[in-house]
Chains A and B, each alone.
Chain A
């Protein structure tokens, strides 16, 4: 809660400062400002609640520890930039889920990013344009109260800058169309999707983009016909979207970067000691990860300890051996009732179970899963 209040107050302060005590603050946009402030509060609140969950908290701190490890900071920074580029900016992992899904996500993501980059500074009064005194063919951009650069009226820069929102809208609408097309035609998506979780965000994005475009249409070709009505409509959709941010699918925008921390955590795990399964003896993960999970499970109230057993804790058994143990536990219930007897095996550790099929999509899904299965 404190975090929420704090961030919101900070943002409010920045708005005041950036717009030079609201001197360049556009009063018509005040509703937008308050909705953003509210969303900021909601997001921060939810984020801090999220971090209080034991696994999240542990990952958060472990992720930073891994990132800030002495002597690896430069290498980490470099791989952070790499991961930022490939995962966050280029959505490589989504490309692997399917090229059309990637295109969908890229269009929506970049459309929104561009729109936010343009509108937020305008709304907060952090950015405005003014004609250059003395040369009326030039405009000057003022950022955070400081004059930044000048550009001619009729230039390409002007065209792109002033129509940036139009381009963004087109990107978002294209992306939303693709997403809806998939959700309508793909049986798999149709089975799992829910209105609130999957359609609502698309509808909001679509509404924001379309009403925004209508504004342009109205003042460009319709002499401002119905402009104020459309403006209100646009405001409602935008404010609705902001208010929705902390709750629905949009929260992933703020949550997703945690993926980067995970990557550093795994880097450290690979460099350090491996965990060895106490049933088959094979390495299956990092010792750090297993010990962290034991800790988290205790915090969560699970008790997978096995008193009197050399394995000590069930977390020390690798996933394939857990499946084997489960199957054997059921099989031995039928001993003496169904045919067959316990077969002799070599003394010591038990053999590692092996997937029956390592072909496409049926064995481990990728390298890491192979390690989960077995190295």
Chain B
């Protein structure tokens, strides 16, 4: 069985509300029960509630698989980069350090790299992955491209990312504004961007702290 070609994953991190439904749902997967493969970080909690939900993007040429000395990471014909094969993985940590999106996790005690495989058990039988099923903000969404274009008329999916000189194409899309002129999201250009949110330091507060 393979993931049906018309079904795609769409990621919109700026919709994320950090509720952790994806993490909790991920731990329900039978292939890694009790452990979440999704990465969810506060970017800078002191300033903002902004969170970054990152699933595996499933690169067309996966850096993780290329740098794997044990040949333990396989990309199936449907474009899903599978988690490390248990008998082969020698826990060298290369994939964890090389993935440009920071996705794989290293299970030290089991000598095993673990990563998101887009819930292959579910997606290969036409179901949505756990995280995109439950995500209350639909920052993680799974469905057809037509459905997504209809539901989000001001956005469009993009699946190429620039890291310095390297361009990486992925199976998973992120949502960009529909009239955005480019085709490649420049990740390294945004490397030093501060978090986005509202600030409480409105002029009205200037003297409020002093009453204390």
Query: Known: A191-B120, A258-B70. Is A186-B30 also a contact (CB below 8 A)?
Result: yes
Known: A327-B43, A329-B190. A285 touches B97 (CB 8 A): yes
In this complex, which of A290, A334, A339 has the most chain B Cβ atoms within 10 angstroms of its Cβ? A334
A304 in contact with B198 given A353-B43, A362-B36 (CB within 8 Å): no
Contact A258 B90 (CB under 8 A): yes
The stretch among B130-138, B142-150, B174-182, B203-211 that forms the contact with chain A is: B174-182
B78-136, CB < 8 A from A: 82, 86-88, 90-94, 96-103, 105-112, 114, 117, 120-122, 124
The docked-state distance in angstroms from the alpha carbon of A272 to that of B111 is 22
For A350, the chain B residues whose CB sits under 8 A away are 44, 192, 194
Q: Tell me the chain B residues, 132-182 only, with Cβ under 8 Å from chain A.
A: 154, 161, 163-166, 174-177, 180
Number of interface residues of B (CB under 8 A): 97
Q: How far is the CB of A131 from chain B (nearest CB, A)?
A: 44
Known interface pairs A259-B90, A350-B44; A329-B98 also in contact (CB < 8 Å): no
Contact A55 B109 (CB under 8 A): no
**Is A341's beta carbon under 8 Å from chain B?**
yes
Per-position contact with A for B9-53: 1 when CB-CB < 8 Å, else 0?
001111010101001100101111111100111111111101111
Residues of chain A lying within 8 A (CB to CB) of residue B86: 97
Do the beta carbons of A314 and B69 come within 8 Å of each other?
A: no
CA distance A71 to B33 in the complex (A): 44
B16 to chain A, nearest CB (A): 8
**Given A258-B70, A328-B43, A96 and B110 contact (CB-CB distance below 8 Å):** yes
In the complex, the number of residue pairs spanning A and B with C-beta atoms less than 8 Å apart equals 300
Central interface residue in B48, B69, B97, by most chain A CB within 10 Å: B69
| Interface size bracket, A side | 35 or more
CB <8 Å contact, B30 and A297:
no
Residue contact A319 to B42, C-beta cutoff 8 Å: no
Contact A320 B14 (CB under 8 A): no
Q: Does A271 contact B (CB under 8 A)?
A: no
Q: Does A220 contact B (CB under 8 A)?
A: no
Instruction: Tell me the interface secondary structure of chain B in the complex.
Output: loop
Q: Is the CB of B164 within 8 A of A344?
A: no
User: In terms of DSSP, what is the predominant structure of the interface of chain A?
Assistant: helix
Shortest distance in angstroms between B75's beta carbon and chain A's nearest beta carbon? 14
Query: Chain A contacts of B11 at CB under 8 A?
Result: 330
- Contact: A361 with B36, CB < 8 Å? yes
Contact of B94 among A259, A293, A345 (CB under 8 A): A293
Q: Within 8 Å CB of B91, what residues of A?
A: 259, 262
Q: Does the CB pair B190–A332 fall under 8 Å? A: yes
Q: Tell me the bound Cα distance from A363 to B67 in angstroms.
A: 24
Is B35's CB under 8 angstroms from A361's CB? yes
Other 10 A-B pairs with CB < 8 A, given A188-B33, A307-B164, A326-B161: A255-B70, A293-B97, A296-B67, A323-B103, A324-B43, A333-B176, A350-B192, A354-B42, A361-B34, A368-B93
Q: State the A residues within 8 Å of B (CB).
A: 50, 53, 55-56, 58-60, 87, 93-94, 96-97, 186-192, 249, 252, 255-256, 258-259, 262, 265-266, 279, 285, 289-290, 293, 296-297, 300, 302-307, 309, 311, 313-315, 317-335, 337-345, 350-351, 353-357, 360-362, 364-369, 372
Q: List 21 A-B contacts (CB under 8 A).
A: A87-B111, A93-B109, A97-B112, A187-B121, A188-B32, A189-B30, A190-B121, A192-B31, A192-B82, A289-B97, A302-B63, A306-B165, A331-B193, A334-B14, A343-B197, A344-B47, A356-B18, A356-B41, A362-B24, A369-B107, A372-B106
